[in-house]
Structure 1
Amino acid sequence: MTTTLPEPARAVLDAPEQITVATIEPDGRPQLSPVWAKRDGDDILFSTVRGRRKTDNLERDPRVSVVVWPKDDPYSYLEVRGTATVTDDPGGSLIQELSRKYTGGPYTADAPDTPRVVVRITPDKVHWRG
């Protein structure tokens, strides 16, 4: 069952806020990664590289949590728990879109042929404190 994001949470996800993603290691420990992300309806999308720990964790166990603290409002936060799906992004279009959102320019940190993926998080629990 998916959950709808409240409007203030949508606005936070539409802004260039840093998001922390929590995945589950094979031994059950949490693994945390800061990512750039965007919203697609009520889903959250981020780009990463195939073979990274978070990608491997999500392909093994798609349960995921994210948290966002708006930099201009330290008393608010968004927590989303959900299920992730990982799909190939051979052209790296999402990382380019995210780089423009967060930096205003193209993404150049990886070689053009780096195997990128899109992670789509479909929420099943949302907590907004604002």
Structure 2
Amino acid sequence: MAFGIAIEKVREMLDSPVFATVATIRPDGCPQQSVVWIGRDGDGPLFVTAADNVKGRHLRRDPRVSVLLNPPGTPYTYAAIRGTATLERGTGRELVDALSIKYTGLPFAEHNPQAAARATDLITVRVTPEEILGRTF
């Protein structure tokens, strides 16, 4: 794994309520981006998605993924994590609740009852970093 940024700073960003932009690869080879709540396991980011949504379908077909962290209070600070995604069924509900508390202070069903009712097949996406680049101040 190549590091172009101090891993401690990346861990701090992943542990804070900073939003992440996740890029997956569409069938035509173009990137597709979306904003997600992000967590951490060791040095790798993790997030939740629905198994049947665009991100889930893209990652099942091609597990290459990029995660960009850009804290709003320090706009010239960022970490770009490129790696491979592993999809885990059966763990998404626990993680979405933990991330919801991290970002909103409430369990997911309390924060967004309509989305929680629709979210029936959540998967955890674990990113194994291959390269981490960025800039901190």
> Does the alignment reach a TM-score above 0.5?
yes
Structure-1 residue corresponding to 2:81: 80
Structure-2 residue corresponding to 1:119: 125
Name structure 2 gaps, 5 residues minimum: 110-114
Greater CA drift, 46-55 or 83-92? 83-92
Q: Which amino acid aligns with 1:120?
A: R
Could you give the per-residue CA deviations for residues 84-118 of structure 1, whole angstroms, max 9, x where no partner exists? Answer: 00010267100000000000001022217611000
Provide the TM-score with structure 2 as the length reference.
0.88
| Inter-CA distance 123–90: structure 2 relative to 1 (3 Å threshold) | closer
Cα offset for 1:12?
Answer: 0.7
Q: Which amino acid aligns with 1:29?
A: C
Cα offset for 1:3?
Answer: 5.0
What percentage of aligned pairs have identical amino acids?
A: 47
Cα offset for 1:128?
Answer: 2.0
Provide the TM-score with structure 1 as the length reference.
0.93
> Helix, strand or coil: the match of 1:92?
helix
| Inter-CA distance 113–55: structure 2 relative to 1 (3 Å threshold) | closer
Greater CA drift, 19-28 or 101-110? 101-110
- Distance (Å, rounded) in 2 between the aligned partners of 1:129 and 1:72: 14
Question: Does 2:93 correspond to 1:92?
Answer: yes
Structure-2 residue corresponding to 1:27: 28
Q: Give the aligned CA root-mean-square deviation in angstroms.
A: 1.6
Name structure 1 gaps, 5 residues minimum: none
Greater CA drift, 82-91 or 113-122? 82-91
- Distance (Å, rounded) in 2 between the aligned partners of 1:128 and 1:84: 20
- Distance (Å, rounded) in 2 between the aligned partners of 1:3 and 1:16: 25
> Helix, strand or coil: the match of 1:105?
coil
State the aligned residue count.
129
